[in-house]
């Protein structure tokens, strides 16, 4: 097991550094991730272990905040170790790490249903500098974002005022919090003719919940989804969504006609846009550079839809890191459409929906469980 001391920068911030346990049977991967973690001023390596069995036996002593857990390991693999780790430390954040095989994609989805917070694809070869750099960037960002909520300073309730005691003036922090509350705008006046959805970290679970409750919407309009995911994973996502929706769900195919009654998922590694063809719309896949550091990205889908449906667009931005979808959402609203964002409490990471909410482009900011009923009402012609 390897450990590291907290850096001065982490201690100066007033918070203890994030404790990260790295579990992988590859000594190269363990060493690589451990060096990355130790180089961050707000993180330290709580343990570096070879098997899931080692992780389970040492989790209470190492007391990590986050575990980066490989799937394929001797003695006890990641999917078997996962529930045992959570049983010993229920608030543990677990990020599954795997190579991009169909089997590992399936296991990663199962792991998320069992309590894993997220997954990260490992490069086939860490000797590819570009692949290793992307892996490093994504891993560090996921660790920070997934732990952000629990590391915020707790808000302590003020004691009740004594008789004749004046309330204290609001602090700068309180004023800033009040000023940051999102301002909502009215829903667009046109009846929506398409549903667009963007999501990232925490998105697969959120999409399952949402799609299961919008059968009547799917039957009447096309539904197009961009979820930040690599190839193979989006294939599995489409299959899972088809099961919960009871409707056709598939990865978008170039030149495919967009029809009501179907859900189209942006394939991993390609941007999915829509373009006009005759009186309808077809899918246009784009192998261009990442947008907002993502490929597929939400903004290309959102902006491309305006030429076809103008003000008849209803867009939903679910949990995820970054701000992807906010710029496209602005253009949708400017064209007369509407945007709904998932609220902070129900989001795994309130990056994407938070950016949209704070930009003032949302007609509603709702808990995940309330979004599907709202969509059903709106597409049935009900008022907001």
Q: Are 137 and 200 members of one domain?
A: no
Q: Are 213 and 361 members of one domain?
A: yes
CATH number of 69's domain: 3.40.50.2300
* Residue range 57-116, pLDDT digits in tens: 999 999 999 999 999 999 999 999 999 999 999 999 999 998 888 999 999 999 999 999
CA dihedral (46, 50, 55, 61) in degrees, to 10, reads -40
pLDDT-derived band at 129, boundaries 50, 70, 90: low
Q: Would the pLDDT of 8 be above 70?
A: no
* β-sheet bridge partners, residue 320: 350
**pLDDT computed for residue 124 by the predictor:** 73
pLDDT-derived band at 160, boundaries 50, 70, 90: very low
Q: Cα(131)–Cα(125) distance, rounded to whole angstroms?
A: 8
Over range 369-375, report the average pLDDT.
Answer: 98
Residue 211 lies in a domain: yes
**pLDDT computed for residue 150 by the predictor:** 74
Q: Are 220 and 367 members of one domain?
A: yes
Cβ-based neighbours of 319, under 8 Å, separated by 6 or more: 199, 200, 201, 202, 203, 206, 342, 346, 347, 348, 349, 350, 352, 353, 368
**pLDDT computed for residue 31 by the predictor:** 94
Residue 2 lies in a domain: no
Cα–Cα separations (whole angstroms), residue 280 to 218, 262, 274: 17, 15, 10
Cβ-based neighbours of 8, under 8 Å, separated by 6 or more: 41
Q: Are 373 and 284 members of one domain?
A: yes
Query: Has 65 been annotated as catalytic?
Result: no
Over range 142-169, report the average pLDDT.
Answer: 61
Q: Would the pLDDT of 144 be above 50?
A: yes
First and final C-alpha spacing in the chain: 56
Over range 3-27, report the average pLDDT.
Answer: 71
Domain that holds residue 96: 8-147
Residue that the structure tokens 């509350």 belong to: 181
**pLDDT computed for residue 258 by the predictor:** 98
**pLDDT computed for residue 383 by the predictor:** 65
pLDDT-derived band at 132, boundaries 50, 70, 90: confident
Q: Return the exposure string of 165-175: e unless at least 16 CB atoms fall within 10 Å of the residue's CB, then b.
A: eeeeeeeeeee
Q: Are 199 and 297 members of one domain?
A: yes
Using CB atoms within 10 Å of the CB of residue 381, give its burial: 0 to 12 exposed, 13 to 18 middle, 19+ buried.
exposed
Over range 167-190, report the average pLDDT.
Answer: 68
pTM: 0.87
Over range 3-9, report the average pLDDT.
Answer: 40
HEC profile of the chain: CCCCCCCHHHHHCCCCCEEEEEECCCHHHHHHHHHHHHHCCCEEEEEEECCHHHHHHHHHHHCCCEEEEECCCCCCCHHHHHHHHHHHCCCCEEEEEECCCHHHHHHHHHHHHCCCCEEEECCCCCCCHHHHHHHHHHHHHHHHHHHCCCCCCCCCCCCCCCCCCCCCCCCHHHHHHHHCCCCCCCCCCCCCCEEEEEECCCHHHHHHHHHHCCHHHHHHCCEEEEECCCCCHHHHHHHHHHHHHCCCEEECCCCCECCCCCEEECCCCCEEEEEEECCEEEEEEECCCCECCECCCHHHHHHHHHHHHCCCEEEEECCECCCCCHHHHHHHHHCCCEEEEECCCCCCCECHHHHHHHCCCCCEEECHHHHHHHHHHHHCCCCC
* Residue range 200-221, pLDDT digits in tens: 999 999 999 999 999 999 999 9
Over range 275-299, report the average pLDDT.
Answer: 94
Q: Residue 274: which of 332, 220, 209 has the closest Cα?
A: 332
* Residue range 214-265, pLDDT digits in tens: 999 999 999 999 999 999 999 999 999 999 999 999 999 999 999 999 999 9
Q: Would the pLDDT of 126 be above 70?
A: no
Q: Are 65 and 131 members of one domain?
A: yes
* β-sheet bridge partners, residue 272: 285
Q: Cα(228)–Cα(233) distance, rounded to whole angstroms?
A: 10
Q: Looking at per-residue confidence, does 289 or 10 come out higher?
A: 289
Residue 166 lies in a domain: no
Q: Would the pLDDT of 7 be above 60?
A: no
- Of the residues 42, 228, 299, 323, only one is catalytic, namely 228
Q: Would the pLDDT of 313 be above 90?
A: yes
Q: Are 123 and 202 members of one domain?
A: no
Q: Cα(285)–Cα(205) distance, rounded to whole angstroms?
A: 25
Query: Has 200 been annotated as catalytic?
Result: yes
Query: Has 137 been annotated as catalytic?
Result: no
Domain count, the chain: 2
Residue 161 lies in a domain: no
Cα–Cα separations (whole angstroms), residue 237 to 64, 84, 180: 30, 26, 34
Task: Tell me the average pLDDT of the chain.
Answer: 89
Look at residues 147, 173, 203 and tell me which one is the last residue of a structural domain.
147
Q: Would the pLDDT of 352 be above 90?
A: yes
**pLDDT computed for residue 181 by the predictor:** 75
- Of the residues 34, 48, 199, 200, only one is catalytic, namely 200
CATH number of 311's domain: 3.40.50.180
């Amino acid at each position: 097991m390897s450990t590291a001391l907290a850096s001065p920068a982490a201690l100066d911030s007033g918070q203890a550094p994030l404790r990260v346990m790295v579990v992988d049977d590859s000594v190269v991967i363990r060493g690589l991730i451990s060096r990355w973690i130790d180089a961050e001023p707000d993180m330290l390596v709580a343990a570096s272990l070879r098997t899931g069995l080692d992780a389970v036996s040492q989790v209470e002593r190492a007391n990590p905040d986050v575990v980066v857990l490989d799937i394929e390991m001797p003695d006890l693999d990641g999917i078997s170790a996962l529930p045992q780790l959570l049983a010993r430390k229920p608030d543990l954040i677990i990020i599954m790490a795997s190579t991009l095989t169909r089997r590992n994609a399936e296991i990663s989805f199962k792991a998320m249903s069992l309590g894993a917070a997220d997954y990260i694809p490992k490069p086939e070869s860490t000797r590819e500098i570009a692949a290793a750099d992307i892996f490093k960037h994504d891993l560090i960002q996921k660790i920070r974002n997934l732990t952000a909520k629990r590391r915020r300073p707790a808000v302590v309730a003020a004691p009740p005022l004594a008789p004749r005691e004046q309330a204290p003036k609001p602090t700068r922090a309180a004023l800033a919090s009040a000023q940051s509350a999102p301002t909502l705008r009215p829903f667009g006046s046109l009846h929506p003719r398409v549903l667009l959805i963007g999501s990232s970290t925490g998105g697969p679970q959120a999409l399952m919940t949402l799609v299961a409750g919008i059968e009547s919407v799917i039957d009447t309009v096309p539904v197009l989804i961009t979820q930040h995911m690599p190839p193979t994973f989006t294939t599995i996502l489409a299959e899972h969504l088809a099961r919960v929706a009871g409707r056709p769900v598939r990865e978008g195919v170039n030149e495919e006609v967009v029809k009501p009654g179907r859900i189209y998922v942006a394939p991993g590694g390609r941007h999915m846009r829509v373009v006009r063809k005759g009186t309808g719309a077809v899918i246009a896949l784009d192998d261009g550079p990442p947008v907002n550091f993502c490929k597929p990205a939400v903004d290309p889908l959102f902006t491309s839809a305006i030429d076809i449906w103008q003000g008849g667009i209803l867009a939903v931005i679910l949990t995820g890191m970054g701000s992807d979808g906010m710029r496209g959402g602005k253009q949708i609203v400017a064209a007369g459409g509407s945007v709904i964002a998932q609220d902070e409490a129900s989001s795994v990471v309130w990056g994407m929906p938070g950016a949209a909410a704070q930009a003032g482009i949302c007609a509603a900011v709702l808990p995940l469980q309330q979004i599907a009923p709202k969509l059903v009402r709106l597409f049935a012609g009900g008022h907001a």
